[in-house]
């Protein structure tokens, strides 16, 4: 009788290898395709910020992957979720460091990370997966330095102007 591990381990290794090859050898026209995210405006404390909106499942999955252009100082991306939860971001295929802020349904900042580094090794996702410990509804992401430039603190408040 064949042991399960004797079948499952090689199958898992082959599946992982095929997936890794797909990421490495992905054609540039797929990597560099851009999604035209809807645009909107938010306010964090006294800073008015232009945002790209990732609201659908597909938009939240694609968000900043393979994107080479950094955000301007007064711009960001907002990921909008349908309900409060412990939302996490895996920074795979992200090419620059990010400032990440999680907000609850009332716009209260519940968690933030400055200068989050993208994945250098996809085999070690713990170093590049970021998650709040308090439920959130919105994640605002921008280039590293955004939190400092906009004087965002633990008591900062998000206001939706138009999304």
Residues 72 and 89 in one domain: yes
Residues spanned by the domain of 46: 34-162
Cα(145)–Cα(115) distance, integer angstroms: 7
In this structure, the answer to whether residues 124 and 149 fall within a common structural domain is yes
Does this model's pTM top 0.75?
yes
- Output the six-digit token pair for 138: 């919105």
Which pLDDT tens digit goes with each residue over 45-67? 999 999 999 998 888 888 888 77
Do residues 115 and 14 make contact, with C-beta atoms less than 8 angstroms apart? no
CATH number, position 69: 2.60.120.1140
Ramachandran area for residue 126 (φ above 0: left; ψ -120 to 50: alpha; else beta): alpha
Work out how many domains the chain is built from and give that number. 2
E strand or H helix at 90: strand 88-90
Same domain, 79 and 137: yes
120 and 91 in a common domain = yes
Residue 22 and residue 69 in one domain: no
Same domain, 18 and 88: no
Helix residue spans in the chain (DSSP H): 4-24, 28-31, 57-62, 146-149
The Cα 83–Cα 139 span in angstroms is 12
Candidate from 4-13, 34-43, 63-72, 110-119 with smallest mean pLDDT:
4-13
Contact 139, 79 (CB under 8 A): yes
DSSP string, 92-137: TT--S-EEEEEE-TT-BEEEEEEEEPPPS-TT-GGGGEEE-SS-EE
Nearest 10 degrees: Cα torsion 95, 55, 140, 27? 0
| Per-residue pLDDT at 35 exceeds 90 | no
CB distance 82 to 68 below 8 Å: no
Say whether both 121 and 106 belong to one domain: yes
Q: What is the pLDDT of residue 153?
A: 96
> What average pLDDT score do residues 113-136 get?
88
């Amino acid at each position: 009788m064949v042991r399960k591990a004797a079948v499952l381990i090689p199958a898992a290794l082959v599946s992982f290898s095929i997936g890794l090859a797909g990421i490495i050898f992905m054609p540039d026209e797929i990597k560099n395709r851009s999604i035209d995210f809807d645009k909107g405006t938010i306010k964090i404390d006294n800073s008015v910020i232009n945002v790209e909106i990732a609201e659908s499942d597909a938009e939240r999955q694609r968000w900043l992957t393979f994107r080479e252009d950094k955000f301007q100082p007064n711009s960001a991306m907002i990921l909008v979720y349908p309900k409060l939860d412990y939302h996490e971001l895996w920074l795979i295929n992200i090419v620059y460091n990010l400032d990440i802020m999680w907000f609850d349904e009332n716009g209260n900042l519940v968690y933030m990370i400055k200068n989050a580094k993208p994945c250098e090794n996809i085999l070690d996702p713990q170093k590049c997966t970021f998650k709040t410990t308090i439920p959130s509804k919105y994640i605002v992401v921008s280039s590293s330095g955004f939190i400092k430039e906009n004087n965002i603190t633990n008591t900062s408040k998000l206001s939706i102007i138009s999304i």
